[in-house]
Structure 1
């Protein structure tokens, strides 16, 4: 009798041992694209404001490269963008078969760190021309990433565009939220909490101004807004609680002038030189002031670098120095 009882107990525990892993696996279903977006969209938008990379592009790349966060690289190395080790990489490593057997990929302490490294990776000089595109030009960014060598797959741009349009991620680039009827998606937890200061500024490089106007960053460091239809310099100056003359000076324009819809208006001083590149090629009809606005470099500095007056004409194809040339 005792032997039968022992056998029953043994068989019961053996059955539990066999079924438990299967039940755990069944309960650990893959994360859906909708859940991935809900979890990481706020982080992508924050990175857009900090570095100027469209949130739609960041999320589309994350969805594609990490299979919605379910890939081996994402689950074992918190690597959501398939970024490989480089000679200067000193962080963790995870090895996975890719172009080569046991290719070395970057390993992160958290997925949030992967998003930050992705932004910094795209701010390298080889991707500099992408930042000349409008933040809402996700198609230009998608094709530009392929042209700059981010991926070898000839269909890569089309895959990104398809993801963006399928889930309407381009709304995020325009400051419009996206949401889906998806259960189990929780916002990503991050350790970053901005502390507010006078003037609406915060430590995370986001300025809060009236009417929920989105504030963008050029080159990851210069804050600007886009003018609305019929606005003046004074309108924007009033919103950010600055003197119109100061805002006009930052943008090298008249303080009583009207602005064109969509015109870039810097809400802090432009820089003395370009951070990303030494020079650019002037486009048809472009002025030195237009280049000053396009690259966030002070107009007087550009004139000095190029030995010309601030109102001197330039021609299409002309090389314009964005920092002091090396003689």
Structure 2
């Protein structure tokens, strides 16, 4: 009897040790995974940008280039429109509906969001992910006849595309082309077109000699900071743009270098 009791005790002791060892191993694996996840999160969190626009470009440049490959719309134009229409991703439609281009319902059968625009509480499309908004933007341009002339332009001709969008009725803002061009040139968005086109890329040369150079005002800008950027006096900047004082507003387009005609 004593021998049986001793065998049972030894067996219980061995089983207990194995169980504890198994628990320790699982804890170690879980801890390793947690540390790895924290390192990834830390890498994302510590990546800094000069402003929200640069962050927006970094987040969506690959999607814009993919759309360019599939539908032939310059990535520079897509990104500039996204920046302008969504407020660099901070507008209500982009935050709550992943709608980066302000596309309204127009028979849309998916989820919707209502937002004040030209009229109160207009219907806008709502997407599960921002990438679907970029795809819908591509389809919106390629499937409507009024934008067909755009696709006859060279992909490098972002200026022509910007002006063509306004001419086709994409936006009512008469300065819409200048705003797009200003964003493309300020953030060098044309480099994403070049990456897609590769060796076939040919730098677009404007047919207008010495076109006016414009700048779109962003938060924190002053006449002094803009004048320093473009090596022009504050007084001359005011005279060119007919500014009575130093007041500026976000989104305002300033001429920083007049065209040869003016």
| Aligned mate of 2:57, from 34, 37, 44 | 37
For 2:174, the equivalent position in structure 1 comes to 154
- The offset of 1:226, in angstroms, is 3.9
Residue of structure 1 in register with 2:153 after alignment: 133
Q: Is 1:78 paired with 2:98?
A: yes
1:105 alignment partner, one of 124, 132, 137: 124
Give 1 or 2: higher helix fraction.
2
**Residues 97 and 127 of structure 2 are in contact (CA less than 8 Å); yes or no, is this contact kept in structure 1?**
yes
User: Deviations along 1:160-183, whole A, 9 cap, x unmatched?
Assistant: 00000000001111117xxxxxxx
CA RMSD of aligned residues (A): 2.2
Structure 2 residue aligned with 1:144, among 131, 139, 164? 164
Which residues of structure 1 form unaligned runs of 5+? 1-30, 177-212, 215-224, 229-327
C-alpha separation between the residues in 1 aligned to 2:80 and 2:131?
16
The answer as to whether partners of 2:103 and 2:125 remain within 8 angstroms in 1 is: yes
Query: How many residues of Structure 1 are paired with residues of Structure 2 in the alignment?
Result: 153
Q: 1:90 to 1:175 in 2, by over 3 A?
A: same
Unaligned runs of 5+ in 2: 1-50, 203-262
Provide the rounded CA distance (Å) in 2 between the counterparts of 1:227 and 1:112: 26
Q: Kindly report which structure 2 residues correspond to 1:1-327, keeping only aligned pairs within 5 A, or say none.
A: 32-86=52-106, 88-123=107-142, 124-175=144-195, 214=198, 226=200
Tell me the SS of whatever aligns to 1:121. Answer: helix
Q: Give me the TM-score of the superposition, normalised by structure 1.
A: 0.45
Distance in 2, Cα, partners of 1:84 & 1:146: 17
Partner SS, residue 105 of structure 1: strand
Q: Provide the residue aligned with 1:321 in structure 2.
A: none
CA–CA separation in structure 1 for the residues paired with 2:110 and 2:148: 25
Give distance in 2, aligned partners of 1:101 and 1:72: 15
TM-score relative to the length of structure 2:
0.56
